[in-house]
Amino acid sequence: MKKLNVFVLVVVLFIGFSSCVIEVKETKTKPMPPPHAPAHGVRAKYHYRFYPSLNIYYDINRGIYFYLESGVWKSSNVLPGHISINLYDYVVIDLDTDTPYKYYKKHKNKYHPNKNKPPKKPKK
């Protein structure tokens, strides 16, 4: 009788364990761009408004301004009283850094306020 109980137990365990299957599914994810690629969308964690006429960055999500004062970059929730910006004169920039002024020279050259204006005609 004892042998029969052991046999039944072994059969039940064999059937139970044979129905246990580990299934591995491969998920296809969109590959990340290389580190040197621009951060448009995929890696962009920060979205800024860059005001080229005043060289000011505004972090849209955090509500922080970055501005250059006496050669030093400062950040604040409110701009100093002597700075007033044109709310419509900006360019949206997506970056993967919380310090947008690291790319200031590049942005200044690319979005210079007089860059897209036609040259003035000489006076006669």
pLDDT at 87: 82
| Sheet containing 46-51, strands listed edge to edge, beginning at the edge strand earlier in sequence | 72-76, 64-69, 56-59, 46-51, 91-95
Q: Indicate the burial class of 39 (C-beta count within 10 angstroms; 0-12, 13-18, 19 or more).
A: middle
pLDDT at res. 11: 83
The answer to whether 77 and 67 are in contact (CB under 8 A) is: no
Tokens read off for 68:
């250059």
Question: Mind listing the pLDDT tens digit for each residue in 81-112?
Answer: 898 888 888 999 988 888 999 988 998 888 87
Q: What is the reported pLDDT for 33?
A: 63
Tokens coding 114: 């007089």
CB neighbour list of residue 104: distance below 8 Å, 6 or more residues apart: 55, 68, 73
What is the residue-level pLDDT of the chain in tens, covering all 124 positions? Answer: 788 888 888 888 777 777 666 666 666 666 666 666 655 555 568 889 999 888 899 999 999 999 998 889 999 999 998 988 888 889 999 888 889 999 889 988 888 776 555 545 545 5
